[in-house]
Structure 1
Amino acid sequence: MKKKLPIILIIMLFVTSINPLMVNGLSPFPLEINNEAYEPKNMPFVWEDSIFLPLREIGEKIGYEVKWDENRRAVDLTRNNESLKLYVDSNEIVLNGGALTLYHLPVVKEDRVYVGIDLFSNYLENIVAFSNGYTKISIDEKRPSTEGIFTESKDEALKNKLKHFMKIYTENQNFQGSVLVARGNEILLNDGYGYSNEVLGIRNNNQTKFAIGSITKQFVGAGIVQLEEKGLLNFDDKVSQYVAGLKHGDKITIHHLLTHTSGLVNATELLEFYELTESTPMEIVNLVKDMDLIFNPGERFAYNNTNYILLGMILEKVSGETMEDYFHHHFFEPAGMKNTGVSYGKRPGFNIATPYQGYVETYEVDDQPLLENAYGAGNVYSTVEDIYRWNEALEGETVLSKAAKEKLFKGHAEMGGLQYAYGWMVGEDQGGQFYQHDGSTLGFSALSRKHVDKDTTIVILANRRLQKVYEIAAALEVILNGGNIEDNQIPKLPEAIEMNPKEYERYIGRYNVLNPLNMDNMVMDVFVEEDQLFLQVDEQEIVEIFSKGNHQFFTKIMDAHMIFELGEDGIAHKIVFTQMGMDFKGYKEGYEKEEVVIEEEILKNYVGVYELEEGFDLKITLENGILYLTPTGQGTMELSPISQTKFELMVVDASMDFIVEENGAVNSLYYQQGAYEKVAHRK
């Protein structure tokens, strides 16, 4: 039996153990400048946690005129309208007339000036990146974005509000990535935040390359639609026509794959997936080809990367091109996406930001096992500017005809208030129609969102797993719509509060917790070692947890939080574990929860539909003596009674209290979820 990955990833996977900066000295780093191999005459070297490069040699190679001022012991670099003066015996530089301070003091070695590599990225604004394991350095010149869609907006007030929000959000939430916001073919925000590489202090900018994860599916979907339009395949074709050996290939259609309704097992949830190296797509499919279906094809939606790995194989077989070549010829080149490609492909340019995981503390990770094996499910890298180019190309008919786009964006499978189309999630809000897709790898997060009726685009790419891209996008849209996000509305990362280790005793124990994703039980062990409190989930890696006061704890390496509820004896009997927006609730082993018995006639009074917000209802149903809640566009959840009128949700940290009037009628309920509180009235 193949083993599935744990659903709660408390710690990072594939932490890289390679750090070339631990030893000072000469380092024969292969260099690549503007996607071409370059062998420097003067060898780079490592010193004080940085890589030092020969200033004149590299500066001239990337197009700067370099002059030495002997009297002032200074170096002048000029290129077009750029100018930089660097003093050899000082950290001070003058960049385009403004004074700045370098992190690393320049070094003179054999009458040559060497500078930390961050000078080329942070001050001369080139794109500096490293291959996995720091075996290669790449330096690329930023290319000007001169197309009409990159016209700078003249709305200074709005631009400043967006810029200020991202500044405070980055400070408070340790965001690292790039963000682009556009409206009506005008740029409102286009900048980088945090570090592309933390060790070397290299900052992200608007042309930093990131793995985009499942946004890759947009290109696969578009490719399949193109082939269908040419009459080379049909959406109703069986997968067995193109891929042999799949147990249920004669039941599953291309349409099922495109809409995640195939019922196949998700290969990327198997540990064996991450153990494969230099694999082929068929080797990935072999992991699941003989497994039974989870459900009958077309029966329901279940997001599944196996679907798009298979679609990539079909695209290659029908088109006669590799997926990498097809993307370049049909999408990347026509749309002007020169900084986009396939990870670990044959084409040059795969120089992406360093991937990280973490929360308060971050850790570099090795994303190669996923990016090499993801294929059509998630192996493309890009920039915020190129994803914006892609969205704009889809507005016209540069890459797809009008008829093809109608097929691409037509929603089919229901998915929590949205519909899944062909590689896109589509939906409507009060402002009209939008389409979007997010992506996540072991060390990257991404979101591309186009609001069609408002003609706005938001692209967020980050080199840290599980960055809150939807939270950022929602705040940016509030500002775009004329609203405000106050600084105090942006939460700060938690800080650990010192506790007397003796206080930890009240929390220790084994908690049996309900997993809301599959309704299975999980075990959470809380214990003390050497005066520190630790948590272990289902025999996963042990992580330390830290107090933030009021019986609340958090981990520093993952955005995960715990709240303990104490009984009258001062001992914890319940835990609420929150991660990725989901709540996992459970009780300590041996704790006997007081049973609340409610007569069925009373429960019948609670049945009905209650309006919580305009267009959003809470539907209460009764089955076999148990109340169930079905919110608009979501699944059905069991309600657990706390009292004769109050119930809690075990899958979400929320409760509702039915309001009984003097005559016994129930026409409203009080709903509470976190800080959100509201009375919902019966419809």
Structure 2
Amino acid sequence: MRKYITALSVLLAFFLVFQDEAKANVHPGVFLEEKKLSFDVQPTIISGVTFIELRGLCNALSYNLGWDQGSRTASCSTSGKNFSFSINDAFYTYNGTRTAFTNRPTIINGRTMISLREVSQVFSYNVTWLQFSKEILLMRPHVSDEVRGRMADDFLKRLHANNRFNGAALVAKQNQIITENGYGKADIEGGVANTTDTKFAIASITKGFTGTAIMQLQEEGKLKVTDKLSQYFPHLPYADKITIHQLLTHTAGLPWEKDRDFAQIELIYTPGTNQRYSNVGYLLLGELIEKVSGLTFADYMNQRVFNKLGMDNSGYDINSSSAGIRAKGYSYENGRLVPVNRDFTLRGASGSLYSSAKDLYRLDQALYNNELMERSTMHSMLTAHSGNWGYGWQVYPLNTGRVTQLTGSTVGFTSHIKRNEGRKYVIVLLSNHADPDIHVIGSTIETIIR
């Protein structure tokens, strides 16, 4: 038994040493705003703390590096700022004031390594950890939106270089576009590049347009969101139990997908007692729009939304689009990208539309400028009526202002739009490689531009 315990202890000790070594081999990229920093010893994460070479950081900041051999004191200084410490001490001195280190410096491969966050804050640089890409950004406190836009573009370029994003992006802040670019190919076989005018299938972002149509029709007195579905489709067995409001907010009790005729669909819970995402509900809303307006869903969108806003690269069913550049959808199979497709018309008002990054920015601006409906109607659409669902949009009322967003996913494509009305920015991401983390990419861009 004693031999067994001893062997187990040795194995555990080996595992812990291996684990610490593995942690110390994580080397995040460090960027001083748009510039990637280089070091003789790479930044290293040890037990969750990033240590950075003092010499490399000092050079990157254009500060003067000093070393006193007698006291073994390193210093990094510029006009009006002096940071120094001895490797033997548990404190540093900044402009004559001593402060205890939260994380003591260490020596790696003969170089003095200091806690990045601690020292960067001493020198008044904000430190941002980009979890998604395992990168660190150092930014001046009041860096311009123009610089932030270039940083977001650089971030997406690095993701594309690592096969983690392919598509188009547009980011605007305070009504000014701070970055817009395409990444990779819209058509690999044809060698056509993605741009912010490229057409992408936008999947469930379609629901935002469907909500817009319903609110327009209500504003015209052609329906009310409180109406029962039976007023328009009396033949459906469940129609007298469901309101338009419940269809819009995913509280109608309908299943996720449509696998049979509407009349044969069974409710999965009593309408209004639960909330489950339902494409079926939005397919029914498309039927309702057609019945009330006398137009097909495609014609309604073209006449009442796209043409009105000058959204020239938006429409119904990307497969039927002929003018302009449209992206092909791709997916990875056996380690390589292959084109994939589907019949988008089957998704109707739940996910059949296509658009471009620039066009979705036009939609964002139209919502601010009341170009599609009265302001009071728009506010009703963008109010969280049930959970975080408004009418077609997800809505998050924050202390800083309302946030509205939608994310879509379908064969070969993903899409994301997030509007922060309080901070006045919008992020549009469209992918034709069905990048699964598109909403995380969007959140990462937020940390850069805020």
With normalisation by structure 2, the TM-score equals: 0.65
Alignment partner, residue 132 of structure 1: none
Residues in 2 aligned to 1:178 and 1:360: alpha-carbon distance in whole angstroms: 25
Q: CA deviation at 1:353?
A: 0.6
Q: Aligned partner of 1:308: which letter?
A: Y
Alignment partner, residue 19 of structure 2: none
Q: CA deviation at 1:266?
A: 2.5
Alignment partner, residue 417 of structure 2: 448
Q: Aligned partner of 2:390: which letter?
A: A
Within the candidate set 211, 215, 226, 2:205 is matched to 215
Alignment partner, residue 185 of structure 1: 175
Q: CA deviation at 1:365?
A: 4.2
Q: CA deviation at 1:291?
A: 3.2
Alignment partner, residue 356 of structure 1: 330
Within the candidate set 381, 385, 389, 1:420 is matched to 389
1:478 aligns with 2:447: yes
Compare relative contact order (CA 8 Å, sep 6+) and give the higher one, 1 or 2: 2
Alignment partner, residue 590 of structure 1: none
Residues in 1 aligned to 2:288 and 2:322: alpha-carbon distance in whole angstroms: 25
Q: Which moved more, 1:357-366 or 1:287-296?
A: 357-366
CA contact (8 A) 1:344 1:350 kept: no
Within the candidate set 326, 342, 348, 2:300 is matched to 326
Within the candidate set 373, 377, 384, 1:404 is matched to 377
Q: CA deviation at 1:449?
A: 0.6
Residues in 1 aligned to 2:363 and 2:273: alpha-carbon distance in whole angstroms: 32
Pair 348,199 (structure 1): closer, same or farther in 2 beyond 3 Å: closer
Pair 351,317 (structure 1): closer, same or farther in 2 beyond 3 Å: farther
Q: CA deviation at 1:244?
A: 4.5
CA contact (8 A) 2:199 2:318 kept: no
5 Å-filtered alignment, 1:153-168, equals 155-168=145-158
Equivalent residue of 1:250, what SS? Answer: helix
Alignment gaps of 5+ in structure 2:
1-142
- Cα deviation, 1:425-461, whole Å, max 9, x if unaligned, reads 0114564321011111111000011000000010000
Q: CA deviation at 1:465?
A: 2.0
Q: CA deviation at 1:200?
A: 3.3
Within the candidate set 416, 430, 435, 1:461 is matched to 430
Greater helix percent: which structure? 2
Residues in 1 aligned to 2:283 and 2:326: alpha-carbon distance in whole angstroms: 22
- Cα deviation, 1:342-398, whole Å, max 9, x if unaligned, reads 0168775485211012388344344232x1200100111110000000010010121
Equivalent residue of 1:334, what SS? Answer: helix
Pair 476,345 (structure 1): closer, same or farther in 2 beyond 3 Å: closer
Within the candidate set 162, 171, 180, 2:161 is matched to 171
Alignment gaps of 5+ in structure 1:
1-152, 271-285, 482-683
Alignment partner, residue 218 of structure 2: 228
1:376 aligns with 2:349: yes
Equivalent residue of 2:422, what SS? Answer: coil
Alignment partner, residue 271 of structure 2: 297
Equivalent residue of 1:324, what SS? Answer: helix
5 Å-filtered alignment, 1:118-157, equals 155-157=145-147
- Cα deviation, 1:174-215, whole Å, max 9, x if unaligned, reads 311000000011111100001212233322111111000011
Equivalent residue of 1:192, what SS? Answer: strand
CA contact (8 A) 1:267 1:305 kept: yes
- Cα deviation, 1:321-362, whole Å, max 9, x if unaligned, reads 111111122111221111111016877548521101238834
Pair 327,174 (structure 1): closer, same or farther in 2 beyond 3 Å: same
Equivalent residue of 1:458, what SS? Answer: strand
Pair 436,360 (structure 1): closer, same or farther in 2 beyond 3 Å: farther
Equivalent residue of 2:362, what SS? Answer: helix
Residues in 1 aligned to 2:319 and 2:284: alpha-carbon distance in whole angstroms: 18
Residues in 1 aligned to 2:363 and 2:416: alpha-carbon distance in whole angstroms: 13
Identity %: 34
CA contact (8 A) 2:197 2:325 kept: no
Greater strand percent: which structure? 1
Q: Aligned Cα RMSD in Å? A: 2.2
Within the candidate set 242, 257, 275, 2:247 is matched to 257
With normalisation by structure 1, the TM-score equals: 0.43
Q: Aligned partner of 1:230: which letter?
A: E
Equivalent residue of 1:398, what SS? Answer: coil
Residues in 1 aligned to 2:376 and 2:331: alpha-carbon distance in whole angstroms: 41
Q: Aligned partner of 2:365: which letter?
A: E
Equivalent residue of 2:224, what SS? Answer: coil
Pair 411,296 (structure 1): closer, same or farther in 2 beyond 3 Å: same
